[in-house]
Amino acid sequence: MIVYVESNFIIRLALQQEEVVDAEGILKLAQSGDIKLAFPAFAISEPFSTIAYRAVERRRVYDLLSHEATQLHRSALHHQIIPTIKSLLATWVDLGQSEMRSLQSTVQLLLDVGKPIETTSSIFNQALAYQIAYGLLPKDSIIYAAIIADLQRAPHDELKCFASSDSDFGIHPAIKSELQTYNCRYIYKFSQALQFVKSIALRDSQA
């Protein structure tokens, strides 16, 4: 069985966000060889952009808090809270670095366990067509075109699923229909995807 994931799967793992336990469960099944994990190589870039943007926003907040701490320090009335603010600022600076380290290790693990799908010229051209046909955002169209291209190469009899928390893939009936022609199911929640994958892995082990 092939499980396709994209950038939101990587973000869940790297930042330990909601459904991370389920995402980790899918990853463990890939590590044990019970499933094949595949993802568009393009999907790796978005998490790095997301974390870089968060770091810029935090730096803006840090500068504001640092300036405010300087002003408060001038007043004897607020001296007692200065150590707390300084401690917060020290932690604040480290957040971006810890997130980036976690993302780097997550991506490395995915590259070790899964199969990246490279963006070719034909995939990019198909993505442009999907933007018009399905109204997908440019980034989503590239991800979707890459998955379709890989589905076209995979054995039809092999069961597949596309697990993504991006609802844009699920709201268009034609996308679900197209995926189904390649024996692939779209699943919106990682918890449901994990349950589905486990049921298939159990069935195959008993066959």
More confident residue, 198 or 38: 38
pLDDT digits (tens, 9 = 90+) for 107-135: 999 999 999 999 999 999 999 999 999 99
pLDDT digits (tens, 9 = 90+) for 23-37: 999 999 999 999 999
User: Which whole number is the average pLDDT over 74-87?
Assistant: 69
Q: Are 113 and 37 in contact (CB under 8 A)?
A: yes
Does position 39 have pLDDT exceeding 90, yes or no?
yes
pLDDT digits (tens, 9 = 90+) for 82-108: 777 777 766 766 777 888 889 999 999
pTM: 0.84
Does position 207 have pLDDT exceeding 60, yes or no?
no
Residue 49's nearest CA partner among 103, 13, 95 is 103
Dist. CA 64–CA 69, nearest whole Å = 9
CA distances from 99 to 36, 92, 96, 102, 205 (A): 27, 12, 5, 5, 38
- Measured between its terminal Cα atoms, the distance across the chain in Å is 14
